[in-house]
Amino acid sequence: MLFFIMTILCIVLILYMYIEANRNRVNSAHAVINSLPDAFHGFQLFFISDVHRRVIHDSIIEKASTANIVIIGGDLAEKGVPIERVKENLLKLTKIAPVYFVWGNNDYELNKKELSAAINNCGVAIINNSCVTIEQGGKKIDIAGVDDLSLKKDNLEQALSDSHSSCKILISHNPDIVKKIKGKDGIGLVVSGHTHGGQIRLGPFGIAKRGGWYTEGTYQLFISNGYGTRHLPLRLGAESETNLITLKQAKSLH
């Protein structure tokens, strides 16, 4: 009898973990940036990382429809993902707003030339150790992106070399980029993924840092749990998520 009960409980737990791994959440948050120009107060970026094998659900596109830009924070795909599925996901995201992509470690499991062509053909801009300047109301912010750090392809100095604004947002698939950031870089916000929030956690314990907001010196770090999973399509204590981040000025909070 005890064995039967334990078996049922295990089945229920696995089913719950599978459902958690396949939910379609858009979590909203705001990021306070001291250097944010007035014209960008309320500016929204939709961040999605670690898609891996998933097909982006239409409800995600609807919930993120207010975003001004879309950022794909790496691991758009992995080995074995059909390029047609990648294109399908990209074309969905382009319905929201202009889309920017940074490389993740698992993206390199695909043919880089083929994946790059698919990304470009879908009208998505690759930020590869480079920087794009966005202008609004006569003011500017910079979105810098670094290539994957775990594969030692990142070059933060190069990414910031084209900066045209005192307000810089850095996109890095791997949050460990913070170990290379210096105060003089003038970065106000770092957005990353990669860790899946540990994917399967037992309370405070997990194989990687929990997703969420962290203060790192003069800037904020946001780590997303990501949309998909790696290896097992299961999650526990690290919910599947995408993120709608609204930029705000510090003075607006007083």
* For the chain, domain boundaries: 2-253
Establish how many alpha carbons lie within 13 A of residue 251's alpha carbon, considering only the half-sphere containing its beta carbon: 5
Q: What is the four-CA torsion angle of 121, 40, 96, 82, rounded to 10 degrees?
A: 50
* In the predicted structure, residue 207 carries a pLDDT above the cut 90: no
Superfamily of domain 2-253: Metallo-dependent phosphatases (3.60.21.10)
* In the predicted structure, residue 253 carries a pLDDT above the cut 80: no
Q: Taking residues 35-64, what's their average pLDDT?
A: 97
Q: Taking residues 195-207, what's their average pLDDT?
A: 89
Q: Taking residues 123-133, what's their average pLDDT?
A: 97
95 vs 5, which has greater pLDDT? 95
* In the predicted structure, residue 254 carries a pLDDT above the cut 50: no
* In the predicted structure, residue 151 carries a pLDDT above the cut 60: yes
Q: Any idea which residue has 């105060």 for tokens? A: 183
Mean of pLDDT over the chain: 94
